[in-house]
Structure 1
Amino acid sequence: MRKARRDDAVTIARLLGQLGYPASDELIDSRLQQQIDHDDACLLVAEGDDGQLLGFISLHFIAQLALEGDFCRISYLCVDSTARSRGIGELLVQAAELRARGRGCDRMELHCDVRRDAAHRFYARLGYEDAPKYFRRSLN
């Protein structure tokens, strides 16, 4: 596991496309730099033995007002379709949880769209519980 670098942008864009988020390499390059520069964000990547990027996890650390510990939100987790079911996703989540603990977080959160059944099973295997209420509103 390592932190993402600017030269990972093309591969991350391809992986996001596998998740159903097609975006230009230029947009991802710009957004990747924002994540790298942001003190409360972290983007980790998993590499194969050959140095090929196999997956990534995007994290945001959020201060809580009423509780002592902060929380960490997983905003994206993707493992290349050719490398799934090899434990890479679990290793990425473990690395994320380790970073979150180091930042003083007392819980992890994520949103996983209702249509992603396999991802729901994955998170349940890792001990994540379903918290079914999630509200959103588009600002566009």
Structure 2
Amino acid sequence: MGDLEIRAAVADDVPSIVGMLADDPLGAQRESPNDLAPYLSALERLSADPNQRQVVAVREGRVVGTLQLTIIPGLSRRGATRSIVEGVRIHADERGSGLGTELIEWAIEESRGQGCQLVQLTSDKTRTDAHRFYERLGFTASHTGFKLQL
């Protein structure tokens, strides 16, 4: 399927990233692919923050996956640093190809390299396929998450 490159996202990648974010029932309700301005602004903020990694997976010149990795220093767990994986998306053409595994393995290795002792993520309760995927990679559903819309 060609060589895979995982690299920092740039402004030219935003349409592809937003397209993947919007390409499921949940994302279709939340995302606005016709107005890229807020996404470009967000990418600028992410790129300026040394604790953020917005990456894309590129195969044969085409963006086929993305995720955001956030590094969080903390006091709990004896001053442990943790990472949070967010916004994992794989292009529909690439689902089932092993790309998701490669992206998550990249995030785990990057987290180790940043001195993290824990990698965490959340997944919407309706994404049962994603839950099985994360469990297969060694993640456990150890907590109950809460969100407050502002």
Q: Which residue of 1 aligns with 2:22?
A: 17
Which one has a larger percent helix, Structure 1 or Structure 2? 2
Find the aligned partners of 2:47 and 2:22 in 1 and give their Cα distance: 20
Find the aligned partners of 2:79 and 2:120 in 1 and give their Cα distance: 16
1:83-98 residue pairs with structure 2 within 5 A?
83-98=94-109
What is the CA deviation profile of residues 76-135 of structure 1, one whole-angstrom value per residue up to 9, with x for unaligned ones? Answer: 100011110001111111111111111110110011010001100110110100024112
Give 1:5's match in structure 2, choosing from 6, 10, 13. 10
Find the aligned partners of 2:145 and 2:31 in 1 and give their Cα distance: 24
- Over the matched positions of the two proteins, sequence identity in percent amounts to 28
Q: Which amino acid aligns with 2:66?
A: F
Alpha-carbon deviation of 1:138?
Answer: 2.2
Question: What TM-score does the superposition give when structure 2 sets the normalisation length?
Answer: 0.87
Alpha-carbon deviation of 1:73?
Answer: 0.2
Equivalent pairs, count: 138
Secondary structure of 2:139 counterpart: coil
Question: Could you tell me whether the CA contact under 8 Å between 1:44 and 1:92 is conserved in 2?
Answer: no
- 1:128 has 2:139 as partner: yes
1:1-140 residue pairs with structure 2 within 5 A?
1-19=6-24, 20=27, 21-23=30-32, 24-48=35-59, 50-66=60-76, 67-139=78-150
Q: Structure 1: give runs of 5+ residues left out of the alignment.
A: none
Q: Structure 2: give runs of 5+ residues left out of the alignment.
A: 1-5
Find the aligned partners of 1:29 and 1:112 in 2 and give their Cα distance: 24
Question: Could you tell me whether the CA contact under 8 Å between 1:2 and 1:45 is conserved in 2?
Answer: yes
Q: Which amino acid aligns with 1:22?
A: E
Q: Please list every run of at least 4 consecutive aligned residues from structure 1 whose deviation after the TM superposition is greater than 6 angstroms.
A: none
